[in-house]
Amino acid sequence: MDLVDERLRLMHVHAHPDDESSKGAASTAKYVAEGVDVHVATCTGGERGSILNPGFEHPGIVENPELITEIRREEMDRAREILGVTQDWLGFVDSGWPDGDPKPPLPEGCFALVPIEEAAAPLVRLIRSFRPHVMTTYDENGGYPHPDHIKCHEISVYAFEAAADPERYPELGEPWQVKKLYYHFGFSRARTEAIDAAMKKHGLESPYAERLARSFDPEREKRVTTRVECADYFDIRDAALIAHATQIDPNGFWFAVPREIEKEAWPTEDYELVKSFVDSPLPEDDLFAGLR
Ligand SMILES: [Zn+2]
């Protein structure tokens, strides 16, 4: 493969604005610093997100809750700049978190209800124009089971295949084979335990007691193939997260562990390699292993 004159390209597919800053953002910043061209595809506008930061204030938001869409676009503008990425909106409408037992039906026209062929089309087009060497998305459970995260997984896997197939979506550009597909692996038990232990070692209260009391699937842990060292970029990740001011409380859970402790206990972001067209022995420490 001749990549000598070509910049490496990485595409992250995310469900909502803020997901690009809470999942894999430090590895994004690292790759950007190395000269990789990183593009984020954001499936929905986050229209049904609630304001999760008690300190968030914005004139008019109480009277006009629909302002959230515009505000989240501005937040994404800032995060994009901080991370140094380019980004496209795929143009779907947030499905919202179905709260209640039984869960209420999903709102008409939302992303999760769009048929897969239609939902994957803008991503196929984007893959064929950006031509990423590596793509990331969520696992089959969405990382966490928000309907938009599960749909994001579905369209990513579907578009990964379809973009390479000249028979499918011929009107959406020249076929492109992405060489590697990864799933994000955020809160593994191993990571949670390591940070929990480091907090206690430093005489601090761990925020993970409740999380560790829950059951973890031991099989899921074994799926990590790739750990990208990126502790030097945690600061950039944090700044990008804070840019999503409606969603992120700077005094909340995301920031409950001092960065020095996180760096010491778990200096990587972790991924599962699920499809590959290159030779790269596992485990890996680089999403571009086999491509450089
Ligand atoms: Zn999300």
CATH architecture of 9-187+219-276: 3-Layer(aba) Sandwich (3.40)
Q: How many CB atoms lie within 10 A of CB 196?
A: 18
More confident residue, 144 or 276: 276
Q: How far away, in angstroms, is 38 Cα from ligand 1 center? A: 19
- Give 167 Cα–ligand 1 centroid separation in angstroms: 32
In the chain, pLDDT over 90 holds for what percent of residues? 84
The tens digit of pLDDT for each residue in 213-224 reads: 988 888 888 999
pTM assigned to the model: 0.95
> Which residues are CB-contacts of 282 (< 8 A; sequence separation ≥ 6)?
225, 226, 273
Ligand 1 centroid–CA 146 distance in Å is 7
- Angle of helix 116-130 relative to helix 147-163, nearest 10 degrees, comes to 60
Report the candidate in 282, 274, 278, 271 with the shortest Cα–Cα distance to residue 292.
Answer: 278
- Distance from the alpha carbon of residue 72 to the mean position of ligand 1, in angstroms: 12
CA of 279 to the centre of ligand 1 (A): 32
Expressed in angstroms and rounded, the spacing between residue 77 Cα and the centre of ligand 1 is 17
Q: Which residues are annotated as a binding site for Zn(2+)?
A: 16, 19, 149
How do residues 143-199 score in pLDDT, each as one tens digit? 888 999 999 999 999 999 999 999 999 999 999 999 999 999 987 899 999 999 999
* pLDDT of the residue at 174: 98
Q: How confident is the model at residue 2 (pLDDT cuts 50, 70, 90)?
A: very low
- Annotated binding residues, as ranges? 16, 19, 149
* Distance between Cα 288 and ligand 1 center (Å): 25
CB 189 within 8 A of CB 208: no
| Segment 66-76 mean pLDDT | 94
Contact criterion met (CB below 8 Å) for 86 and 29: no
Residues with Cβ–ion distance below 5 A, ligand 1: 15-16, 19
Q: Is the pLDDT of residue 3 over 70?
A: no
The pLDDT of residue 53 is above 60? yes
**Cα–Cα distance, 41 to 94 (Å, whole number):** 14
